[in-house]
Each structure stands twice: as structure tokens, then as C-alpha cells.
Amino acid sequence: MNDQINRHHRILEKLQNCRASNPVSVPEIRDFLSNKGVEVSARTVQRDMNALAEVFMDIESKMLKDGGFGWYWNDKAKVILLSGLSPNQALSFILVKKYLSQLFPEATLKELEPFFDYSDKVLHSLEGNALVKWPEKIAVVHPVQPLLAPDINADFQQVISTALLENKKLKLDYVRLDGERSQYTVNPLGLVFRGHIIYLIAVKVDTGEERQFALHRIKNAEQLPVDVDPLDITLQDYLEKGHMGFAWTAGNATTSLKEITFKCIFEEKSAKYLTETPLSKDQEIIPYEPGYVLVKATVRYTEQLVWWVRGYGSAIEVLEPVELRDRMIKDVNELYKRYVNNPA
């Protein structure tokens, strides 16, 4: 291969992930080439970069602190893949954009955008290829009543994502569901996507309390120039405790998040779903009486469990724990009074 072509190929390889925030310097390019067995002077690298910038108009440079130049692709640069993208690789990018965009920090999405555009062109250039239609043949549906997503301030979301990436504390201005507005300084643990609502999971700096903050209720978010405190809990620890099933206190009814032995009588036809998707690994389904079964499982006592039981209406009768059974009895009595006293 011609020496100059080989160098240019190597330089483009080094440059592919460089943006304005992380430009590559001439000495760094020389070191990269040297590791590939290509020894050249700084002047030669500079001439190569000028030549590449004339061919690839999206390559730009800026002055670095040491007085030298750093080279990078601008944010709107088109994707240039010397080996191209295979149809399957292009399809992967399309599906990532469609279903996983919310999971990425804004800065990452910004860098992926050219790959999304390029992948779309790759797929639509393949006339007659079945992969082109694949994104239209799959969908993700949440097993709950469809609700419209709340409005989230994109700037605040980006501040929060950046703080998580850089491991910095956050100052939040937050409005609770009851309307009370407060200021919080927190150590962020991570983001949880629960249906259409995104929650920031964090630990309050002053009390060490673990909290959930719905992003759409955050009225201001500021990243502080301070690293998060050493914590003995991770996002995964928080989730394993059952917190995203929610604990709640209403009158004398309190969901504790603790593990309980859940027993109920279930209509047999409704319980068939539990044979495919069990409540727990130790779930037991035992014949009870004609048309009914006894279900026993170890689960966490959460509001999510309460909502799930309510959703089956008269198809389920809770036996244990007593607290949950009493709560269901109270619910039924209140519903009965409401419908009897307020006929349509």
C-alpha cells in the first residue's frame, strides 16, 4: 500500500471518535502511528492533517493550551466508515434509536445521531431486503393502562445525566406530589424508567435518606463542583429492596417493602397466567375447589402488589398476610358504599 494512503487510513482510524471536547494532537497522532509501525515527523503529520481536512470538510482544528493544534470531527459530521455498516449493524442502530434513546445521556445521543442517519440510509438502500421492514414489525407495549408521558425539562435532564456521568452532587428544586416545594442536595445513584415516568434515585446529603425524584417535578437542577460522598448503596441495591414497587402509609395500612408470604384463592382460569410468569421462584399453585386454586409465594409487600391484587377484582381473595386481607376488605366496603349511595 502507498505509504501516504496507509498513513491517512491510520489517522482516520485514530480520529474517528474525536470531537471538539476531545481533539487529538499532532504528538498523539505520531505516537499512534508509531505504535502501528509508521514513523514520521510532526511536520509530515501536520501536512497529512491539512490534506485530510481539504478532502473531509467536517474535520476541524483548534488551538490547544500548549500552543499546538488539536483535530476533530465537528458535531454535524457525516459518518465515514471505511468498511461500511452491514445491514444487521444498521438495523441495530435503528432499534437503539427507537427503543433505547431515553437510556443514553444527551452527549452520547448527540454523537450517535450521525450513525442513526447513516443506518437509515443503509437500510433504505437495500431494495427488497426484509430487514428494511423489520422495525415496523415489532413494538414494545407496557402492560398497564396507556397514559401520556409528563413533560420533562430537557435541560434539567441533561444536567442530571451529566452529574451521574461525572459522579458529582446535585442541588434540586423539587415539587412533591402534594404540592410542597423544597430544596435538596443529593448524591445521585441513577435513573429508573418506570413506564412513562423517569425517576432520579438519590441519597440526601444531610440525612442519608434514600429518595426518588420524578424528573417532571424537578423545577431546577444544578450540578455542584463536588464529588459524591462514598456510599454503601448502589442503584441495584435500591431496586432489590423493592423500592420501585413503592411503600405507602394510608390510615392504618402500611406497605413495608419487607418480604411476606402471600396466600390467596385465585380463579383457576386467571391463575393460568401465573404458571407462565410466576410471582416468585418458590410459588406454589395448589388445587383448592372446583374452579379455584390456592396460590402461595414469597413477595415484597409493596403498593405494586396492592394494585396488582385490586386489578383482579373478584377473581382473587387474599388470605395472608392479615394486613393485606384487611386492606382489601376495607377497599371492598368503601367501594360498595360509594356505588350504593351514588347510583348512576
Nearest to residue 186, comparing CAs of 178, 197, 167?
167
3-state secondary structure of 82: coil
Cell of 321: 398476610
pLDDT in tens, the chain (344 residues): 467 878 888 888 788 778 888 899 999 999 989 988 889 998 999 998 888 888 888 888 898 888 888 988 887 777 666 556 778 878 888 888 888 887 777 767 777 787 888 888 888 887 777 888 888 888 888 777 788 888 889 889 989 999 998 999 999 999 998 899 999 999 999 999 888 889 999 999 999 999 999 999 999 999 999 999 999 999 999 988 888 877 766 655 667 788 999 999 999 998 999 999 999 999 999 999 999 999 999 999 998 999 999 999 999 999 999 999 999 999 999 999 998 887 76
- The H-assigned helical ranges of the chain are 3-15, 26-35, 42-55, 87-100, 106-124, 154-166, 235-240, 268-276, 303-311, 322-341
3-state secondary structure of 143: coil
Length in residues, the chain: 344
Cα separation, 61 vs 48, in Å, equals: 13
Cα separation, 220 vs 185, in Å, equals: 12
Cα separation, 280 vs 292, in Å, equals: 20
- In degrees, rounded to 5, the angle at the alpha carbon of residue 229 between the alpha carbons of residues 224 and 230 is 155
Cα distances (Å, whole numbers) of residue 308 to 144, 146, 279, 321: 10, 16, 11, 15
pTM here is 0.68
- Domains of the chain in start order, with CATH, are 3-73 (1.10.10.10), 87-137 (no CATH), 154-233 (2.30.30.520), 253-341 (3.30.70)
In this predicted structure, what is the pLDDT of residue 83? 57
Cα separation, 323 vs 246, in Å, equals: 17
In this predicted structure, what is the pLDDT of residue 228? 96
Cα separation, 59 vs 19, in Å, equals: 9
Cα separation, 228 vs 185, in Å, equals: 11
Q: Are 162 and 223 in contact (CB under 8 A)?
A: yes
In this predicted structure, what is the pLDDT of residue 88? 82
